Structure 1
Amino acid sequence: MAPLTTFDIDWASWLGTLVALLVGIAAVAALVITVRFIANRVRGRSAWIGDLERRIRVPGMTLAFLIAGWIACAVTAPSTLSWWEVLDRILLICVVLVGAWLLSTLVTFGVERLMQYDSARDDSGPEARRRQTQLTVLNRLVIVLISIIAIGVVLFSFPEVRAIGTSILASAGVVSIVAGLAAQSTLGNLIAGVQIAFTNAIRVGDVVVVEGEWGRIGEINLSYVVVYIWDERRLILPCTYFTSQPVESWTRKSDKILGTVLMDLDWRVPVDAVREKFMEIIEASDAWDRRSANVLVTGSEGGYVTVRFKISAANSDDQWDLRCLVREKIITWLQQEHPEALPVTRVTLESPE
């Protein structure tokens, strides 16, 4: 019987490098296929698993192939060559950066899942907006921290940078003062952004009046806030504005809001008839939430009487529509039924003696 032939691979040769790379690629491919198979099997019961697999597919595969290639080169021929130190440093930097990319993707996915959970409960009240704001700012803050740590690890992988870092730390007092003065505005906005998120001063979706403009808080970033104005303009303000300037909020505790319509009418206005017509108008409208409604004469100066119509609505949009409706209907009704109630200017002419 012929003896069995064995093949001994010289891992220090380029053939060993090629074999190690092929083994690494095969292992990563098997891992990817397994993960995708499991994700496809459970996707029907848990749709979020399929979404997670789709998001981490590219950064995860890239990281796995980089690590496999790094290990293969480290135990074979390239590790004995003069340029291995450079290649080793490049692979380390790539692994750190891709790892940060993967970690940021996981953090963002987790935050979005929490926000979708709130949306699924159909909760659009102040507490839901508070949680959405905090999660959004926290997500961006964590991603910034991950990026800073990754860049720091990359820089400190160079001995020269570590030496510079040691000298900087030795004079940290002076550096911190200079950096604080140079970046006072930027740091102030960053701190204000975190403060806004966790003190519940304003939230994404809040209705506010800022700089004389009515709109909704559309975005809260780490350094600035975007207000969506009602006419589709965008007002961008630094975060420090909302911690140092007064802001009128219409949805601080609840979306419910009161509104008023003021009319200057003639003294001959039939207030009881106006009150009856007002109730008829708002009872026919779905925008009135039936919490509050009244008509009062609140002024009688300058030759006119001021009639105030107070109405309540479930939110600011309904309140605006209801105010416009009341104003239009009452004006039309007065023109048709009680023209004497419309404001007039009286002039008395006295004959000379």
Structure 2
Amino acid sequence: MSETWVRIATAIGAYAVFLLVEWTIRRTLSGLGRSALQASLRECTRTPLRWFAAMIVLRFAVGGVLPGPAAHLLTLALIGTGAWLLAGILIAVEHSVLSRLRVDERDNRHARRMQTQITLVRRVTVAAVAVVALGTMLMTFPAARAAGTSLLASAGVIGAIAAFAAQSLLSNVIAGLQIAFSDAIRLDDVVIAEGEWGRVEDITLTYLVVHVWDDRRLVIPTAHFMARPFENWTRREAALLGTVELDVDWAMPIERMREELRRMVDETDLWDRRVCVLQVTEAVHSVVRVRALVSAVDAPTLFDLRCLVREKLVAWINDNHPYAVPRLRTEHVRHIPTQDGHGEPDRLFGDTPDGRRRSHAFQ
């Protein structure tokens, strides 16, 4: 009994020494300067490191005198805290790298691609660490080792059954890795998916989250997302072109309308001064279709600019050229009564000299 207490006291003393050394190292590093990696490691590994150190001290100090089940439980705790510490290191490295990426700039395509890849790789590695830790824990049980040996003999059958049962999950994981390294889509990209316009808010190994313009979240399985066409408005650059179409009367002075468009976009900061064009795209039936083409630095700014141009053009037409508002024209055809009391149009035979003579003879 006295030997057990000596071991426990030794474990407590060793752990106290560890805490003192850890505190000293942290204070020394803080005095030398604070980097992003250092701050991330301090935040993500402080708790798992202390638990892992405590498990190591207990395992080597009192593990030999503990009963069998207690010693086995201590071994499982050591494996679990070690996996927790390794996952914390991976997360800290991810945060450190992501903190150096400038995603708040206008042209942030490269930064967003790196952010997507680093995030997905970190999730894959953390999941792998968890699986390996769980497998290591199971292998500490003699029954699990015997079962594992027998399962290896039938690995082909088990693999086929597992692949069939988890084909949906595996397809989503493979699609997630494809998204990470194909550069087809990145975090914060502006997309139109499933008929909804929004920004890519999160990408995991199994699903993708689109933040829709009205604050809804559209959750799409990655395999389903990659199997369907989608629009990526910011794959190459954030700057975009947008159109505003209006139907006006044939009497509209197009050149004045073009000058007014140029004047109104010059007065707003929403326009990036790249493209400002007004063209007549159709002139059929009773209206003329006019299209204004403008440009902006990104999709939200472009939407606001299109709304502004549409509102100001409508107001300008109503205030300065109300006669050019689209209208429906009708023509009244005069009827000439005949002997039976019915009428026939005066242009029944055509509005030509010969037709008028024939119409007069008919009447």
State TM-score, norm by structure 1: 0.91
Cα separation, 2, equivalents of 1:51 and 1:174: 44
Larger radius of gyration: 2
**Aligned counterparts of 1:247 and 1:50: Cα–Cα separation in 2:** 39
2:186 alignment partner in structure 1: 203
Displacement of 1:45: 4.5
The answer for the alignment partner of 2:53 in structure 1 is: 64
1:37 matched to 2:27? The reply is yes
**What is the letter of the counterpart of residue 336 of structure 1?**
D
Which of 7, 11, 15 lines up with 1:17 in the alignment?
Answer: 7
Pairing 1:1-353 to 2, within 5 Å after superposition: 13-42=3-32, 44-46=33-35, 48-74=37-63, 78=65, 83=67, 85-119=68-102, 122=105, 124-353=107-336
User: Distance between the aligned counterparts of 1:106 and 1:307, measured in 2?
Assistant: 59
Paired residues of 1:39 and 1:50 also in contact (CA < 8 A): no
Q: After superposing the two structures, state which structure 1 stretch, 85-94 or 102-111, moved more.
A: 85-94
Give the AA of the match of 2:228: Q
Alpha-carbon distance in structure 2 between the residues aligned to 1:294 and 1:50: 51
SS in structure 2 at match of 1:312: strand
For 1:247, the aligned partner's letter is F
Post-superposition offset of 1:36? 3.0
| Distance across 1 between alignment mates of 2:164 and 2:111 | 38
Between the aligned partners of 1:232 and 1:150, the Cα distance in structure 2 is 39
May I ask how many residue pairs the two structures share in their alignment?
A: 336
Instruction: Tell me, yes or no, if the aligned pair for 1:292 and 1:310 is still in contact at 8 Å.
Output: yes
Structure 1: distance between partners of 2:106 and 2:84: 32
Measure the CA separation in 1 of the matches of 2:335 and 2:56. Answer: 108
Change (3 A) 1:342 1:198: same
Write out per-residue CA displacement over residues 205-234 of structure 1, whole angstroms, 9 at most, x where no aligned residue: 100111111100110011000000011011
Query: C-alpha root-mean-square deviation of aligned residues, in Å?
Result: 1.8
User: TM-score normalized by structure 2?
Assistant: 0.88
Q: Percent identity?
A: 37
2-side partners of 1:86 and 1:297: how far apart? Answer: 84
Name the counterpart of 1:4: none
Q: Which segment is superposed worse, 20-29 or 308-317?
A: 20-29
Contact 1:40 1:50 in 2 (8 A): no
Which residue identity does 1:178 align to in structure 2? I
- Cα distance between partner residues in 2 of 1:196 and 1:242: 10
Once residues 72 and 26 of structure 1 are traced to their aligned partners in structure 2, the CA distance between those partners, rounded to angstroms, is 14
Is the CA contact (8 Å cut-off) linking 2:173 and 2:206 kept in structure 1?
yes
| 1:124 CA displacement | 5.0
Map Cα deviations across residues 290-314 of structure 1 (whole Å, 9 max, x no partner).
1111111000123211101011111
SS of equivalent residue, structure 1 residue 286: coil
- Give the Cα–Cα distance (whole angstroms) in 1 for the partners of residues 229 and 144 of structure 2: 46
Cα distance in 1 between the residues matched to 2:222 and 2:230: 12
Deviation at 1:177, TM superposition (A): 1.1
Matched residue type, 1:181: F
CA apart distance, 1:89 = 1.2
- Gaps spanning 5+ residues in structure 2: where? 337-363
Consecutive unaligned residues of structure 1, counting only runs of 5 or more, are 1-10
How has the CA–CA distance of structure 1 residues 123 and 160 changed in structure 2, closer, same or farther, with 3 Å as cutoff?
farther
Structure 1 outlier segments of 4+, above 6 Å = none
Moved more, 316-325 or 273-282: 316-325
Cα separation, 2, equivalents of 1:49 and 1:59: 16
Structure 1 residue 70 displacement after superposition: 1.0
Superposed CA offset, 1:88-130 (max 9, x none)? 2111110111111111111011111111101388475211111
